[in-house]
Structure 1
């Protein structure tokens, strides 16, 4: 049963999945803000540019898939944040998480995993025991993080990737879809393949 009003920052493809997750929980979503969209989405009005004075007691979720853009929009959002946890997900009572996170359909988060703030754990992703995901991480659909994996701030782990136990993916690094990570990945690196190899570095 809804306990408070919720607004979404973002109206694109990722926002559709997040909104669906909220509506299936019976949450009271009152508006979406994204200057690129108008009309409504699943019956919820899209209000255009973010209005910090709109329903000031409402909670917010920044439903934007890009980690860099999500971080920027979070910094510009004055509403307090809340988490989205789809009822089909399995989250250990011994896992911990911050705020603004999106835990989507069919995900599993195991005991003593630590999830930061504004993290996306996308459809069917698996986060095993003792993993650490820093702020603004995006684990794409079907990702498997084995035990004791650490993912640095803003890293993107592509769909279907596997990271073996105990490895670290650095801050703002990218792991390409379908990759198998068997060695640590440095900050800002882009790694692809099986086994994953570094092909370039993003600019800090």
Structure 2
């Protein structure tokens, strides 16, 4: 397995693979100045037989690469051995779950998502494709998050709240009501600081 992205996020993905006894053949990155990472070679092109896991933090960029390299992406998700994922949860391909994260009963997580270190996805949450739940963020039960949204570090979302597509929830925010599409919310309680494209 190759990790596509030779940066900090790539290092974490490599450790997820290692925790599951998956061999990391090396890294792939478009930056031709990078040649080694974690004592592995970094190459700059994908070969026909390569299988990759995307290690790109930006949601839209990750989506574009997923589409571009769909024939090469591994059709599975990757959860760190020290995460806690319910047997009744469903997780899409190319989603990564970092160490310490919890995904509880009957949560549904789409493809290409990042469930970062110590994040909590409680029961019956529905997370769309290409979402990033940052370290320490907590989604209580029955929360819905739309495609491409980013939930910041240590943000909290109360039960039953719906967050739209393409939203940004600031670090440490407390979300107590629904958030429309393409909205940036910060603070405790969360308040809108930007709406629309």
Quote the Cα distance in structure 2 between the aligned partners of 1:174 and 1:111: 25
Superposition deviation, residue 80 in structure 1: 3.4
- Whether the 8 Å contact between 1:119 and 1:135 is mirrored in structure 2 is yes
Aligned mate of 1:143, from 130, 137, 148: 137
Q: Does 1:60 align with 2:76?
A: no
- Paired residues for 1:64-79 under 5 Å: 64-77=56-69, 78-79=71-72
Q: Which residue of structure 1 aligns with residue 96 of structure 2?
A: 102
Superposition deviation, residue 40 in structure 1: 1.7
Q: Which residue of structure 2 aligns with residue 181 of structure 1?
A: 175
- Whether the 8 Å contact between 1:8 and 1:60 is mirrored in structure 2 is yes
Aligned mate of 1:14, from 9, 12, 18: 9
Superposition deviation, residue 45 in structure 1: 1.2
- Whether the 8 Å contact between 2:171 and 2:186 is mirrored in structure 1 is yes
Specify the SS of the correspondent of 2:147. Answer: coil
Mark the CA change 1:60 to 1:194 in structure 2 (over 3 Å): closer, same or farther: same
- Whether the 8 Å contact between 1:173 and 1:202 is mirrored in structure 2 is no
Quote the Cα distance in structure 1 between the aligned partners of 2:139 and 2:12: 22
Specify the SS of the correspondent of 1:94. Answer: coil
Q: Cα RMSD over matched residues?
A: 1.2
Aligned mate of 1:25, from 20, 26, 37: 20
Superposition deviation, residue 18 in structure 1: 0.8
TM-score by length of 1: 0.91
TM-score by length of 2: 0.94
Quote the Cα distance in structure 1 between the aligned partners of 2:68 and 2:27: 15
Aligned residues: 194
Aligned mate of 2:38, from 12, 36, 42: 42
- Whether the 8 Å contact between 1:159 and 1:177 is mirrored in structure 2 is yes
- Whether the 8 Å contact between 2:66 and 2:73 is mirrored in structure 1 is no
Superposition deviation, residue 52 in structure 1: 4.3
Q: Which residue of structure 2 aligns with residue 3 of structure 1?
A: none
Aligned mate of 2:83, from 86, 89, 92: 89
Quote the Cα distance in structure 1 between the aligned partners of 2:47 and 2:155: 38
Quote the Cα distance in structure 2 between the aligned partners of 1:179 and 1:199: 12
